Amino acid sequence: MEDVLDLYEQPYDASRPVVCFDEKPVQLLAETRLPRPVRPGRPQRFDYEYERRGTANIFMAVEPLAGWRQVTVTERRTKLDFAAQMKQLVDVCYPDAERIRLVMDNLNTHKPASLYEAFPPAEARRLLRRLEFHYTPKHASWLDMAEIELSVLSSQCLAHRIADPDTLAAETAAWQKRRNQAGIPVKWRFTVNDARQRLPHLYPEHS
């Protein structure tokens, strides 16, 4: 835990950005009847019935201090999908960074081995030389600031029914563009000292 918190207290460094990464499944739901439009004195109304259209996955990468985030919609969240996201970060999002310090949870796909499954050994190693993984402890994924950004995305963009992956990708892309243009950072206030004072049960007792 303190490894991640120490990272969050460091000043902004464009050559070694701190990026938080997470993912979220999204259920695709279609309307069975056309919603009734807004009328004077009445809001738009939706039927309670809906049609299930399967699920999609959202990957979220966010650089809290820079006020930047990237949302990617995929069909699944396999090791190969994770590896593709890492390549995107290294080669497209941060091509000039010396090293990307990546905060994420301990999901079984979030491992260096995923890159070796996706790419030839030399390519996997090239990417991993630019990545520095920092894992949140088990049951402490709340330390990953990407969870905060996913929560904002859910409330601002995913609170209504979305029927297909293309619509989901278009709506999340529009949300991402608005947030990035505004440069909205994630303001983290929980420090190592706070952890030691508020979470004493996580620390061994010393006589």
User: Where are the chain's structural domains?
Assistant: 2-27+51-198
Predicted TM-score (pTM) of the model is 0.87
**Phi, psi (5° rounding) for residue 164?**
-150, 160
Asked if residue 58 lies in contact with residue 194, where contact means CB atoms within 8 angstroms, the answer is no
Residue 179 token pair: 């947030």
The predicted pLDDT at position 38 comes to 62
| Helices 145-157 + 165-182 axis angle, to 10 | 110
Query: In this predicted model, what pLDDT tens digit does every residue of 65-101 receive, in sequence order?
Result: 999 999 999 999 999 999 999 999 999 999 999 999 9
Asked if residue 137 lies in contact with residue 1, where contact means CB atoms within 8 angstroms, the answer is yes
**CA 115 → CA 38, 39, 110, distances in Å?**
49, 53, 9
Class of 2-27+51-198 in CATH: alpha beta
The position carrying tokens 């991993």 is 128
By CB neighbour count within 10 A (0-12 exposed, 13-18 middle, 19+ buried), where does 46 fall? Answer: middle
CB-CB neighbours of 20 under 10 Å: 29
Q: Decide if pLDDT at 115 tops 60.
A: yes
